[in-house]
Structure 1
Amino acid sequence: METIQYIIIALIFVVAVIYVTRRFFPAKNQSGGCNKGCGCNFSKAEQS
């Protein structure tokens, strides 16, 4: 019975770590606005 409890606690911990990681370190491929230093190509943004 203890093994099941440890597995459940480990799963909750892993889910919490993934949640916090995604919350504080958003994905790099999400494009935001064209602010200074965003690294996007101005001519590419102009065409769309």
Structure 2
Amino acid sequence: MIQYIIIGILFIIALVFMIRKFIPTKTKQQGCNKGCGCSMTDVEKKSNF
């Protein structure tokens, strides 16, 4: 019985981890990759609506 509880807890933790990985967060700062040719001020102007 205890092994089913442990497996269930591990499954729920893995499920939460996967859901959080695929849902975009609002706190991440979107920017360009290195070498894209734009300056950081361009990126800041775009993100400050």
The TM-score range, normalised by the shorter chain, is: 0.5 to 0.7
C-alpha deviations, 1:20-43, integer Å up to 9, x for none? Answer: 112211322111113xxx6x216x
Gaps of 5+ in 2: 32-42
* Residue 21 (structure 1) aligned to one of 19, 25, 28: 19
Aligned equivalents of 1:23, 1:10: Cα separation in 2: 20
How large is the Cα RMSD of the aligned pairs? Answer: 2.0
Q: Identity of paired residues, percent?
A: 42
For these two proteins, the number of residue pairs brought into alignment is: 36
TM-score of the superposed pair, with normalisation by structure 2: 0.54
**Higher RCO, 1 or 2 (CA under 8 Å, sep at least 6)?**
2
Gaps of 5+ in 1: 43-48
**Structure 1 ranges of 4+ moved more than 2 A:** none
